[in-house]
Amino acid sequence: MESDLDTPCVRLAADPDGCSGAAGRLIADPHYQGRVIYTGYMPEKALNDVQTGRAEWTRWNVHPRFSDICGLVEHLQAERIYPLFAKPEQLQRWQETFKQRLCLSNCLTD
């Protein structure tokens, strides 16, 4: 049986500069095989990671509108949706829209 740890996934990790937090630990780990993608401001550390092939850079709006999220969910046919930047008062709308696909537990935290 496949566990969640064996399932390909996307990890959104803080801090975004790759110097500290979960992102810093992941990119510093020589055994980490996942892709690292910076999405915004590129400090010297991030620039070096991209220039050496350790990471990529793609501009991405990390705070999309709800309508954009709905479109992305449908386009990707997402089976699990984590409301990373949703405010508590927005969760009912998320639950009504995404139903069983919405995940409110088992979130990875720093």
Q: Could you tell me which residues are beta bridge partners of residue 38? A: 57
Domain that holds residue 28: 4-57
Residue 107 pLDDT grade (very low, low, confident, very high; cuts 50, 70, 90): low
User: Would the pTM count as exceeding 0.85?
Assistant: no
Q: Is 46 found in the same domain as 11?
A: yes
Q: Which two tokens stand for residue 73?
A: 């969910």
Residue 75's Cα: distance from chain center in Å?
17
If you count them, how many residues does the chain have?
110
Widest CA span in the chain: 44
Contact call for residues 54 and 27 (beta carbons, < 8 A): yes
Number of domains in the chain: 2
**pLDDT digit string (tens) for 20-45?**
888 888 888 888 888 888 888 888 98
Domain membership flag for residue 110:
no
Q: Which residue has the tokens 């055994």?
A: 31
Domain membership flag for residue 12:
yes
Q: Is 72 found in the same domain as 27?
A: no
Q: Is 48 found in the same domain as 11?
A: yes
Q: Is 51 found in the same domain as 21?
A: yes
